[in-house]
Amino acid sequence: MDLQLATVDNPFNSAEWALSEMLNQPDMLTKAQEELNRVVGIHMLVQESHIPHLPYIKACVRESLRLHPAAPFNLPHVSCADAIVAGYFIPEGSSVLLSRLDLGRNPKVWENPFRFDPKRHLNGPANEHVDLGEHELRFISFSTGRRGCPGGTLGTNITVMLLARLLQGFTWSMPPKVDEIDLTEQAQSLFKLNALYAHAKPRLPAAVYLI
């Protein structure tokens, strides 16, 4: 069957971008499905308890959050005291806006920043911690500090489960007459300009989908 996935918010944005990028580099789909076969098998759907054992899929979600944040800027904040950050003096009362795009795509931090490459996370937090937070702010996922997202663990679980179930449940391929998924983004929201449209073939025993 051919399915259309459209972004409505953060977890959907990350899963839609990850799946789109992976369709253009199908060896990544194979790798993710091998991990799911090994950790979960094909006789049950992936569960929350599996998440710590799915580093490759988690790395794909982290990479999606890095390269495709759901908005170009973080919410604005006001500094409550004078501070020096990376050599810059920021006086008390300044409006502070962090560019999620410039952090996640900074070539001084990320080699070949426009390439979707989950491997870059595999020796770091994707292996070590269960949540997708990036506390060094090399990109912004849930942000950090007092006003950081309080829903990090829930957001991680929802996002990883969403992508893992899409990958476990179906073998994905391009729709007829399409050679490459279009990765153009909307100018303001950074959501995909055109919703992902792809072919999904069930790959689990029929009874598993009824649970």
Please give the residue ranges that form the binding site for ligand HEM (CB under 6 A).
Answer: 10-11, 74-75, 140-143, 147-151, 154-155, 159
Looking at the Cβ atoms of 104 and 169, the one nearer to ligand HEM is: 104
Looking at the Cβ atoms of 43 and 146, the one nearer to ligand HEM is: 146
Looking at the Cβ atoms of 150 and 176, the one nearer to ligand HEM is: 150
Q: How far is CA 125 from CA 52, 61, 66, in A?
A: 11, 12, 13
Instruction: Provide the minimum distance between the beta carbon of 105 and ligand HEM in the complex, in angstroms, as a whole number.
Output: 16
Instruction: Provide the minimum distance between the beta carbon of 186 and ligand HEM in the complex, in angstroms, as a whole number.
Output: 17
Tokens matching residue 131: 């949540």
Strands 95-96 and 77-78: antiparallel
Residue 210's Cβ-side half-sphere holds a number of Cα atoms within 13 Å equal to 3
E-assigned strands of the chain? 2-5, 77-78, 83-85, 88-90, 95-96, 170-173, 196-202
Task: Provide the 3-class DSSP secondary structure of residue 172.
Answer: strand
Instruction: Provide the minimum distance between the beta carbon of 135 and ligand HEM in the complex, in angstroms, as a whole number.
Output: 12
Residue with tokens 């990850």: 18
Looking at the Cβ atoms of 2 and 9, the one nearer to ligand HEM is: 9
* Cβ–Cβ under 8 Å, residues 66 and 140: no
Residue nearest to ligand HEM (CB): 151
Instruction: Provide the minimum distance between the beta carbon of 93 and ligand HEM in the complex, in angstroms, as a whole number.
Output: 18
149 assigned ligand-binding residue: yes
Looking at the Cβ atoms of 56 and 139, the one nearer to ligand HEM is: 139
Instruction: Provide the minimum distance between the beta carbon of 46 and ligand HEM in the complex, in angstroms, as a whole number.
Output: 17
Looking at the Cβ atoms of 117 and 134, the one nearer to ligand HEM is: 134
Q: What is the DSSP string of 54-107?
A: -HHHHHHHHHHHHHS-SSSBPPPEE-SS-EEETTEEE-TT-EE--BHHHHHT-T
Instruction: Provide the minimum distance between the beta carbon of 78 and ligand HEM in the complex, in angstroms, as a whole number.
Output: 11
* Cβ–Cβ under 8 Å, residues 46 and 161: yes
Burial class, 176, CB count within 10 angstroms (exposed 0-12 / middle 13-18 / buried 19+): exposed
Which parts are annotated binding residues? 149
The binding site for heme comprises 149
